[in-house]
């Protein structure tokens, strides 16, 4: 089944207490919202996973995600956090391959392919990010870039494993800039991605994969974006840090 997903990516913001306060406020505001067919996700810093997952508890339709995972299982990798540890904190999802990870921490498609395996191996749904930088958009190579990100990072997965993946399309030029892809621009890329999935895994899996848009999504533009046929929700940075804004986006579904 194709879910609508509104996922917050808090990035390197919030202490555990601030995170718990934010989640408590959001849950209070959506307590009478019908979340059938929808998933709400809080992508927290590692240090907040446990506390936030405890606050979320078994609230139906609400999940916690990490923003990264190690490509190693465990052992002498100082500073790393394994998929198993993340899962043990109560997270059900892991954001993988965010453009900030790709750019500042040099994560390649090959590394991300391993991270996708680790996530799936620990029952974490990967939210796999892709998206072009402004130069790729300007010189019209963005489809090639996105295609390699998807093929090299995900297409080694079996159909059964791929069926658990969520994709997030985040044009880098729209992240944190206030500039959003137009609904038509985003829809065109989402349809392109869904088509890639169809060619590889067939129509049923392509129909069921949730493809999120990310990049300056706000309550004021969410409805138009999520209203497009291949846009199944959002991965939200800045606007996920304020309960009212995040809930405004949830209410746009």
Per the listing, tokens 């913001």 go with: 13
Report, in Å, the least distance between residue 19 CB and ligand PGA.
Answer: 17
28 is catalytic: no
Count CB neighbours of 165 within 10 A: 23
Q: 100, 107, 132, 170: which is the annotated catalytic residue?
A: 170
Q: Which residue lies nearer to ligand PGA by CB, 43 or 206?
A: 43
Q: Which residue lies nearer to ligand PGA by CB, 103 or 123?
A: 103
Report, in Å, the least distance between residue 179 CB and ligand PGA.
Answer: 9
Q: Are 80 and 70 in contact (CB under 8 A)?
A: yes
Q: Are 177 and 134 in contact (CB under 8 A)?
A: no
98 is catalytic: yes
Q: Which residue lies nearer to ligand PGA by CB, 19 or 238?
A: 238
Q: What separation in angstroms does the CA of 31 have from each of 34, 57, 60, 179, 247?
A: 8, 14, 10, 31, 11
Q: Are 193 and 146 in contact (CB under 8 A)?
A: yes
Report, in Å, the least distance between residue 137 CB and ligand PGA.
Answer: 16
Residues at the contact surface with ligand PGA, assessed by CB under 6 A: 9, 170, 175-176, 214-217, 235-239
DSSP state of 157: S
Catalytic residue positions, numbered: 98, 170
């Amino acid at each position: 089944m194709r879910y609508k997903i509104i996922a917050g990516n808090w990035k390197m913001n919030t202490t555990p207490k601030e995170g718990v306060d934010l989640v408590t406020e959001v849950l209070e505001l959506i307590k009478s919202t019908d979340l059938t067919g929808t998933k709400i996700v809080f992508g927290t810093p590692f240090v907040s996973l446990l506390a936030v997952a405890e606050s979320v508890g078994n609230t139906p339709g609400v999940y916690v995600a990490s923003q990264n995972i190690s490509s190693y299982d465990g052992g002498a990798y100082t500073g790393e956090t394994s998929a198993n540890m993340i899962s043990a904190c109560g997270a059900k999802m892991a954001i993988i391959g965010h453009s900030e990870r790709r750019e500042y921490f040099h994560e390649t498609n090959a590394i991300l392919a391993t991270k996708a395996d680790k996530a799936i191996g620990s029952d974490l749904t990967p939210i796999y990010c892709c998206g072009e930088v402004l130069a790729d958009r300007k010189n019209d190579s963005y489809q090639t870039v996105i295609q390699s990100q998807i093929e090299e990072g995900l297409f080694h997965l079996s159909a059964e494993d791929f069926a658990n993946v969520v994709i997030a399309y985040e044009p880098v030029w729209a992240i944190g800039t206030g500039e959003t892809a137009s609904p038509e621009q985003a829809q065109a890329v989402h349809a392109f991605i869904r088509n890639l999935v169809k060619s590889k895994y067939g129509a049923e899996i392509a129909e069921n994969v949730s493809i999120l848009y990310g990049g300056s999504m706000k309550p004021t533009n969410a409805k138009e974006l999520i209203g497009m046929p291949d846009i199944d929700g959002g991965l939200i940075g800045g606007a996920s840090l304020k309960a009212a804004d995040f809930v405004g986006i949830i209410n746009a579904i």
